[in-house]
Amino acid sequence: MAAAQLSRRPRAALRRLGRTRLVIILGVLGPGLIAANAGNDAGGITTWSVIGSRYGYSLLWLLVIITPVVAVVQEMNARVGVVTGRGLAALIRENFSLRITALAMLATMVANFGTTVAEFSGVAAASEILRVPAWIGVPVVAVVVWSLITRGSYRKVERVFLGLGLIYVTYFVAGVLAGPDWSAALQGATTPQIEWNSLWLFTVIAAVGTTLTPWGQFFIQAAIVDKKIPWREFKYTRYEIYAGAVLMTTIDAFIVLACAAVLYPHGIVVDSAGQAARALEPFLGSLARLLFAVGLLNVSILAAGVLPLATAYVVCEAFGFEAGLDRSWGEAPIFNGLLTAFVFFPALVAMIPGLPLIPVILVAQTVNGMLLPIVLIFTLSVINKPSVMGGHVNGPVRNAVAWTFTVVLIGLSVALLVSPFVS
């Protein structure tokens, strides 16, 4: 009897340890998955839909390369947030001049405004596909998003955002329904095909800019700080970030698969995710159209909430204003005012009749891609300072990945800028 009791004790202890770890994982879950999911916003769905319809499977290799880059960069920013207890914007202000900080914030606000307009454009497109007029759908979503992020606590907002992320399964279903050529997809994922023309360069930079966004780096670090994740639990956040990176790029891959399998063979090049939803219907039926529409509405709502948050965090951190979802209007008027402005003004712009939505979306993603190296240089400068990070500075592998990616992206941006003059 005594021996049996002794044998049960280790098992009971292991079960308690397992439950404790599960509680910790669930407790830190949030920033990494939200940042990854929000990267698949209306601009992201549009960009990858265009890529699948225009280039078929030939750019899938880009997702294979960018997945570890997303994981490394997101982990770097999250680690800085945990170690320093401050957001990236605050660290830029502390380690660089006020003029550089102001320029960085201005560029970020302009890019974020354009991207938020793209999110509400996605709401408008999805509403129309679902037979709801845009002038009803967009204001309703704007009010719901504003109410959530200004009236809810951090925990409540985080749970809603994580719940919205579950709807991404619609794109997996659409990709499978399309019946892609898996051998061609495997070749596209493993054999890079490169074209040196303005359109290809523009598309690749837009794809990078919509997958690894500058605002996403500010958001994940600010969210980590707002959530107050301790260093002893950071390993679970790291796992979450890695899982989020894989999930995000896998969703993108299935969007490409759907459009490459159905639209590319017929020479149908779409200009938006909404048009992709309509174009798929004759081949896959109304279910595919509804799946794309529901997915587009979901990603647009998620990003329309996260982007104003990221913008408010960035500006308030950079200039020392009070910030946080748990702070009232009286405690953080600038923070809440920016949230309000970056919800309702982009929503109004998105409803302007005749607005060229697709150029707005694609240009916003390309601007994001060209701004990203600047954000990465700031991050790498901070994370490699022992005076800031102590013993948690970057190792050689992470530095090699991040710096190589930064240099390549700068090179692509320069090539895009000069391509009109040499083509």
Per the CB < 8 A criterion, the answer to whether 132 and 276 are in contact is no
Exposed (0-12), middle (13-18) or buried (19+): which is 99, by Cβ within 10 Å?
Answer: exposed
H-helix or E-strand spanning residue 153: none
Q: How far apart are the C-alpha atoms of 206 and 191, rounded to whole Å?
A: 20
Quickly list H helices, 263-356: 273-284, 286-319, 333-350
Q: How far apart are the C-alpha atoms of 399 and 392, rounded to whole Å?
A: 13
CA 107 to centroid of chain Cα atoms: 18
Q: How far apart are the C-alpha atoms of 127 and 147, rounded to whole Å?
A: 20
CATH of 29-422, one of 2.130.10.10, 3.20.20.100, 1.20.1740.10, 1.10.150.120: 1.20.1740.10
Q: Specify the pLDDT at position 275.
A: 76
What's the token pair of residue 169? 């399964």
Within 8 A by CB and 6+ apart from 376, the residues are: 73, 217, 402, 405, 406
Q: How many residues are there in the chain?
A: 423
Amino acid at 308: P
Q: Specify the pLDDT at position 62.
A: 94
Q: Specify the pLDDT at position 165.
A: 58
Q: Specify the pLDDT at position 17.
A: 37
Within 8 A by CB and 6+ apart from 125, the residues are: 42, 134, 272, 273, 274, 296, 357
Instruction: Please give the DSSP secondary-structure letter assigned to residue 272.
Output: S
H-helix or E-strand spanning residue 256: helix 234-262
* Residue 359 CA: distances (Å) to CA of 39, 87, 202, 348, 398: 19, 32, 12, 17, 35
pLDDT in tens, 215-247: 778 778 877 877 778 888 888 888 888 888 888
CA neighbor of 210 nearest in space, from 45, 22, 395, 25: 45
Return the SS3 of 3. helix
List, for the chain, all residue ranges whose pLDDT scores fall below the cut of 70: 1-40, 152-168, 272-273, 284, 355-362, 364-365, 417, 419-423
* Residue 393 CA: distances (Å) to CA of 20, 32, 74, 81, 418: 29, 20, 15, 12, 36
Per the CB < 8 A criterion, the answer to whether 225 and 85 are in contact is yes
Q: How far apart are the C-alpha atoms of 14 and 28, rounded to whole Å?
A: 21
What's the token pair of residue 200? 């290809």
**For the chain, give me the number of helices (H) and strands (E)?**
19, 0
Q: Specify the pLDDT at position 16.
A: 43
Return the SS3 of 106. helix
* Residue 330 CA: distances (Å) to CA of 146, 308, 317, 326: 17, 19, 17, 12
Q: How far apart are the C-alpha atoms of 231 and 236, rounded to whole Å?
A: 10
Within 8 A by CB and 6+ apart from 51, the residues are: 59, 203, 207, 256, 259
* Residue 391 CA: distances (Å) to CA of 72, 89, 293, 303, 387: 18, 22, 47, 34, 9
Q: Specify the pLDDT at position 385.
A: 92
Q: How far apart are the C-alpha atoms of 408 and 410, rounded to whole Å?
A: 5
Q: What's the pTM value of the predicted model, to 2 decimals? A: 0.77
Q: Specify the pLDDT at position 72.
A: 92
Q: Which residue has the tokens 């966004």?
A: 213
Instruction: Please give the DSSP secondary-structure letter assigned to residue 59.
Output: T
Amino acid at 346: P
Within 8 A by CB and 6+ apart from 371, the residues are: 107, 108, 111, 209, 214
Per the CB < 8 A criterion, the answer to whether 157 and 326 are in contact is no
Q: How far apart are the C-alpha atoms of 227 and 30, rounded to whole Å?
A: 9
Q: Which residue has the tokens 């309703």?
A: 140
Q: Specify the pLDDT at position 18.
A: 39
pLDDT in tens, 296-334: 887 788 788 888 888 888 888 888 888 877 788 888 899
